[in-house]
Amino acid sequence: MPADILYVAIENPGERSDLLEDWTWLVGADLQPVKFTACGDVFLRDRRDGAIHFLDVNGAHLSRVAETVQGLEDKLADPAFAGDYLAPSMVDTLRKHGKLLKAQQVYSYRVPLALGGEVAVANVDVSDLAVHLSITGQIARQLKDVPDGAPIGKLDVRIPSRKPWWKFW
């Protein structure tokens, strides 16, 4: 499988911290995007020490995975590491079911896993990257202190505007 289908092509990803606005409660201000995966997760570089972290948006979990960008590239060359972090078999299955990504799109669960959604092709849609990151970040922030299995009351989720960044009206 070509590696390029496992990522979202974004020019200057390090300058796109705006995409993580709804995740600042977890990632803070010192982490900047390095790579966005086709499954909507993000590799981030710490501006302070260069370490690479992985934001698992479905699990709302941030973990340190490498000491440098080159260290990340070396790890991504390992099929086991890539399998864990890029989900190539899932991407392949979704593509075989006709779910193909266009520019700035990712795979996103219709019903998020945190809300009882299942890991199944029928529960995955193609979504705009910015919308995916915004909605998953808002849901994760509101559920961060809710114990597993506890009933979930009302969630307040705002649908982000799709206005291009270059339009000022």
pLDDT at residue 166 tops 80: no
pLDDT at residue 152 tops 80: no
Q: How far, in Å, CA of 53 to CA of 16, rounded?
A: 16
pLDDT at residue 119 tops 80: yes
> How does residue 13 score in pLDDT terms, banded at 50, 70 and 90?
confident
Name the residue type at position 60: A
Whole-model pTM: value is: 0.88
**pLDDT given for residue 167 in this prediction:** 46
Q: Is 86 helix (H, G, I), strand (E, B) or coil?
A: helix
Q: How far, in Å, CA of 46 to CA of 32, rounded?
A: 7
